[in-house]
Structure 1
Amino acid sequence: MEYSDIVIGGVRHGKPYILDCHGEGNWKPVVDKSQDWQLRSASENGTHTTLEVSRVFNTCDNDDLPINNDTTKFIWSIGTTDDLEHHQKRGSASVIILNPVSPPVNITESQVWEMNVKTKLPAMETTYWCTAHKSPPYTSKRHIIGFKVKLETAESRNHTHHLILHQCRASSEELIQLYESILRTPGGLCYEDENIYNMRRTCEHFIYGWAVGADPLYLPENVGVPLNEHGLPEYFLLEIHYDNPSKLPGISYETGIVAYTTTNLREHDAGVLR
């Protein structure tokens, strides 16, 4: 737990307590000289202990880590007593603490378009895998009003690091033939496969990005990403960064993106400034 910023709390003999600590190694946490966490409320029953705590984003304390909108790795442990020991019930999660809560998309007015990718990871620490995708044959312009990444298995949550969705410019019959040929394949290494590399050069329009800890993205009620603007299918390149630090062999799973689309066009088309 070296370099960890730690808060410890509980209810002992009916009295709540909280400690602001930090980690210096794989041993008992060290109590900070400056106690910056504030206990707002506490309760305990036969099965649960609930603590509500708060702290300023940046305490200017060298023993504390600032709270910001970067992805933060949480580790946690729960014990049956108030003794500081090696708890058997513990885990971790990646969270964007200050990620704003998005309003849920109105599923009743949207249709789902899924971009699925099933890949067997090589026994490499890092893999960038690219796949081609084609929008459904909608005959009129639509708006994409939300995105969600498919992380339905433990493997997908453990090994999907980030992904980027690019829109391609099908400006010639030659490019369309290239895109269609890649659509018939499971994809390839983004920076080594020649066909994928040639496609990437023509797919520079950023549409959506996701990284570990991010929630689904739902656009404001008056904004949508244009899709099939001219009543014809469009082509996209999905770049996924797979993380396999232990270089485990034989990992295979499906991930991808769910896009929510609607024919109820919104006031503004979304765009990205570069």
Structure 2
Amino acid sequence: RYSVDYAMPTLDDSQDVELLFARDSDGSGTSWGVILKMNSCDEQDYPIEDLSSFMHWALGSSHTFAYHGANRGQFHANLLQAPMVYQDTNDMLAVDLRMPDVDVVIGEGGGDPRNPYICSFFDLETLLPDRNMTEKQHVSVFSPFLDGDSKQYVHHMLLYTCDDTAVESENFKHMQVIPECESMPSGCYEMKWLWAVGSEEVHLPENVGMSFGEGRNMMLIQMHYYNPDLDQGIKDSSGVRLHFTQSLREYDAGIMTFDGGTQGWQRPPIPAGKENAILPEFVVPSTCTNRWESSLNIVGITHHAHLIGRKITVEIERDGQSLGVMRKEHFYDFNHQSQEESLIKQFIPGDSIKITCSYDTSGREEDVEFGDYTNNEMCFVPVMYYPRQDFEWFSYRDPSSVSELYNNTVISCSTAGTASDWGNFSDVSACTQSMMTNLDDFYGWGVGQIIPAIWLCNSEYSFDGICPPCHKKKECSFEELKAFGQNVVCPNLCASAGVSVYPLTSNVTNSQPTHATLCREVNLWFDHVSLDAPTCVPKGNFENFDRDSEPKDI
């Protein structure tokens, strides 16, 4: 049997199972044994694979197949391996970051009283007085804590590190609460951990740790609550326990985010009345992943949508072949958003990553918009991995909505700059001139201020990728920045639009590409033709099984 909802499981069309024995005795209760094919290739079955998966159990009051009431549960198991032995946390230093009994109500300026966003700051230097937080520290286990009185209202928890410059300028304080926090506070953008409904404790491999400290001691938890009935008097102290290792691990972990649509400006509303509304695919092309410095080991992958999510698939294409999906989940379940092992164990520079999300709007009378609230929708995939890279966030762009930006990019790449108050750019491309004069416009940050490259790259806000290496000493000259723009930044940007950088005039394209992706700070435009998924090969044969062997007593 199988089920796609919280309902009586339906009889499977193909019975790829065989009963070996069934017993019922007063002393030992009911026991039974079956054999299953390792892979039946039936769309209603899951293959038995060498990875840990959710298992569900339920017990009724008789042998009649009927509703079991509250007598049910779930656990993780790998049917091909012995139970996993997790690392002992007794010798680790545990620190709790928990919301300070906050009122679960919308703060001033909030958009929807059913969807409060509340944040709280935590100073690790205060919480860990015996640790030198100017040095790197590693966390290897994240243990979520859900307040028993309010856990049904918790939609997600996100843990971020805050930049020390922002902490100083904004005067953030330990245990300070921001009552309305849908938009993240300035400088708090590096994600360290996430929890959504159904998530479990996260254990990193024994040679891997998530880095904390190094002078960035202020942490922030963003809580999204969902209170559809506007219940009153709700307080919450949910959070996370961090287990710090005694010594540093070999590798730093990171969280890579694939944003296939989380805001209304990325995706149009999903039409109402559709049983299987499939979004246009979101592709991270090889020109983007080639910027990774090495192969990346995948710790786990999470699928995230909201209440009408139907299915999320993440496929890897490598060397002209589809490797298939990272995680097999026939039907997305909002209540089981756990991080799961990936079937594909590594990302390789040059991989193309394709994400497809679908939704069931058959029960909705109005189109469903993308956005932050639970009654909106999302297409979002975080992946925990190591070793950490700077290039770890990617975002979908609708090619038609950025056509003007694409055309402007083609023009700025293929034409010469001019002499201006900022300097002479007639010997380089207009692209380089645009980068030099205003990074906010050039990258589309939306700050609303003129940010010259020579100012940013010689300030405390400079960072790699946007600025050349001279920014580390705050000694970037006009000519160094100009050369960096012409020889590094603009070639990458212009190649993403299929054109060369002036004065070269080759590879000029006149057609609008089929796909667009924001690859960290750079918009990429490209054509993509999806590869056929690998053909399923059945594995397992009932005829070869020895049925004469006597089963052991349980």
* Partner residue of 1:178 out of 150, 171, 174: 171
1:44-85 Cα shifts (integer Å, max 9, x gaps): 444744556656678444xx376899x9896x6532222344
3-state SS in 1 of match to 2:177: coil
1:168 aligns to what? 162
Counterpart CA distance in 2 for 1:23 and 1:174 is: 50
Contact 1:115–1:258 under 8 Å retained in 2? yes
* Partner residue of 2:88 out of 103, 106, 116: 106
2:231 aligns to what? 248
Structure 2: runs of 5+ lacking an equivalent: 107-112, 255-387, 393-554
Contact 2:121–2:172 under 8 Å retained in 1? yes
* Partner residue of 2:213 out of 217, 228, 231: 228
2:116 aligns to what? 127
2:97 aligns to what? 115
Counterpart CA distance in 1 for 2:176 and 2:5 is: 49
Aligned-partner residue type, residue 162 of structure 1: H
Aligned-partner residue type, residue 186 of structure 1: V
1:217 aligns to what? 202
Which residues in structure 2 correspond to 1:177-216 (within 5 Å)? 177-180=170-173, 183-191=174-182, 197=183, 199=185, 201-216=186-201
3-state SS in 2 of match to 1:171: helix
Aligned-partner residue type, residue 171 of structure 2: L
2:220 aligns to what? 237
Contact 2:160–2:189 under 8 Å retained in 1? yes
TM-score in terms of structure 2 length: 0.36
- 1:212 deviates by 2.4
Counterpart CA distance in 1 for 2:11 and 2:184 is: 55
3-state SS in 1 of match to 2:96: strand
1:235-261 Cα shifts (integer Å, max 9, x gaps): 111112223344332222321010011
3-state SS in 1 of match to 2:243: strand
3-state SS in 2 of match to 1:143: strand
Which residues in structure 2 correspond to 1:87-98 (within 5 Å)? 87-90=68-71
Select between 253-262 and 209-218 the one with higher mean Cα deviation: 209-218
1:195-242 Cα shifts (integer Å, max 9, x gaps): xx462x31111111222223211222222222222xx56011111222
Aligned-partner residue type, residue 15 of structure 2: Q
Matched, 1:82 2:63: yes
Counterpart CA distance in 1 for 2:2 and 2:208 is: 44
Residues 21, 164 of structure 1: CA spacing in aligned structure 2 closer, same or farther, 3 A cutoff? closer
Contact 1:105–1:145 under 8 Å retained in 2? no
* Partner residue of 1:260 out of 243, 255, 268: 243
1:178-201 Cα shifts (integer Å, max 9, x gaps): 212xx353332212xxxxx462x3
Counterpart CA distance in 2 for 1:41 and 1:164 is: 48
Counterpart CA distance in 2 for 1:257 and 1:267 is: 24
Aligned-partner residue type, residue 248 of structure 1: D
3-state SS in 2 of match to 1:179: coil
Residues 238, 25 of structure 1: CA spacing in aligned structure 2 closer, same or farther, 3 A cutoff? closer
1:165-187 Cα shifts (integer Å, max 9, x gaps): 11111126743x5212xx35333
Residues 265, 88 of structure 1: CA spacing in aligned structure 2 closer, same or farther, 3 A cutoff? closer
Counterpart CA distance in 1 for 2:2 and 2:237 is: 40
Contact 1:103–1:218 under 8 Å retained in 2? no
Contact 1:133–1:237 under 8 Å retained in 2? yes
Residues 41, 154 of structure 1: CA spacing in aligned structure 2 closer, same or farther, 3 A cutoff? farther
Select between 251-260 and 239-248 the one with higher mean Cα deviation: 239-248
Contact 2:122–2:175 under 8 Å retained in 1? no
Contact 2:97–2:239 under 8 Å retained in 1? yes
* Partner residue of 1:33 out of 5, 9, 13: 13
Aligned residues: 236
- 1:102 deviates by 6.5
Counterpart CA distance in 2 for 1:245 and 1:55 is: 43
Counterpart CA distance in 1 for 2:132 and 2:153 is: 37
1:108-146 Cα shifts (integer Å, max 9, x gaps): 321111101133323854333221111123225322121
- 1:89 deviates by 4.4
Counterpart CA distance in 2 for 1:85 and 1:132 is: 48
Residues 155, 102 of structure 1: CA spacing in aligned structure 2 closer, same or farther, 3 A cutoff? farther
Structure with a larger share of its residues in strand? 1
Counterpart CA distance in 2 for 1:160 and 1:154 is: 11
Counterpart CA distance in 2 for 1:266 and 1:23 is: 41
3-state SS in 1 of match to 2:90: helix
3-state SS in 1 of match to 2:141: strand
Counterpart CA distance in 1 for 2:66 and 2:184 is: 55
1:8 aligns to what? none
